């Protein structure tokens, strides 16, 4: 039995971490993409872009109508407090991205992707309320303008960006 012990010791492989610390070259291969490069940075870029579009869309025509010889258009900002809240939700998304770029992260207990999804959901609810119910003080309007549809698409894109960021965090 004692004759097997020296054989086992000679067959034992060296530990890889000690070899790397001793200066042995690491296994070469293609480098892994950093966060923010390639497909992995898509969530962050989509968050920035959709937040910007959501903010700007509050100043586009949400309602269109005509009066006596006059064409009118009502922007989201002038449609009431919900239009203003859509603008500020878009700014909050942009501020979240700017803080992350500046090196300021949220606490680990509050995932950033969850905050982005929550802000996108809030903006979607605000836009849907304005899509369904037109304020009476804005009448006569013939229909909805392109701006409210852009706002809805941007709010849904914020949710999608948050979900992409959640997938990137895994």
**pLDDT tens, position by position, for the chain (170 residues)?**
555 555 555 555 666 655 555 555 555 656 544 455 555 578 888 999 999 999 999 999 888 887 777 777 888 888 889 999 999 999 999 999 999 888 888 888 888 889 999 999 999 999 999 999 887 776 677 788 899 999 999 999 999 999 998 887 77
Phi, psi for residue 101 in degrees, rounded to 5: -65, -30
Q: How many domains does the chain have?
A: 1
Contact 35, 41 (CB under 8 A): yes
Residue 55 lies in a domain: yes
Residue 87 lies in a domain: yes
* CA pair distance 114, 117, nearest whole angstrom: 5
pLDDT computed for residue 6 by the predictor:
55
Residue 111 lies in a domain: yes
Q: Interior CA angle at 112 toward 155 and 80, to 5°? A: 35
pLDDT computed for residue 28 by the predictor:
60
Residue for token pair 């006596």 = 68
pLDDT computed for residue 128 by the predictor:
96
* CA pair distance 58, 52, nearest whole angstrom: 10
Written as six digits, the tokens of 120 are: 């996108």
Residue 15 lies in a domain: no
What 3-state DSSP class applies to 122? Answer: helix
- Going by C-alpha positions, the residue among 138, 160, 163 that lies closest to residue 53 is 160
Residue 28 lies in a domain: no
pLDDT computed for residue 122 by the predictor:
97
pLDDT computed for residue 32 by the predictor:
47
Residue 39 lies in a domain: no
pLDDT computed for residue 2 by the predictor:
58
* CA pair distance 60, 74, nearest whole angstrom: 8
Residue 153 lies in a domain: yes
Residue 20 lies in a domain: no
Domain range for residue 136?
A: 44-169
């Amino acid at each position: 039995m004692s004759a097997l012990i020296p054989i086992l010791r000679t067959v034992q492989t060296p530990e890889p971490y000690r070899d790397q610390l001793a200066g042995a070259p690491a296994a070469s291969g293609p480098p892994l993409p950093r966060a923010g490069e390639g497909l992995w940075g898509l969530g962050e870029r989509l968050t920035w872009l959709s937040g910007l579009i959501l903010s700007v869309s509050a100043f586009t025509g949400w309602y269109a109508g005509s009066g006596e010889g006059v064409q009118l258009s009502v922007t989201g900002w002038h449609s009431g407090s919900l239009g203003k809240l859509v603008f500020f939700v878009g700014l909050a998304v942009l501020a979240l991205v700017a803080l992350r770029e500046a090196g300021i992260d949220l606490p680990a207990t509050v995932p950033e992707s969850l905050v982005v999804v929550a802000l996108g959901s809030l903006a979607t609810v605000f836009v849907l309320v304005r899509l369904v119910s037109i304020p009476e003080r804005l009448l006569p309007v013939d229909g909805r303008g392109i701006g409210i549809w852009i706002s809805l698409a941007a709010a849904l894109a914020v949710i999608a960006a948050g979900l992409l960021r959640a997938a990137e965090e895994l």
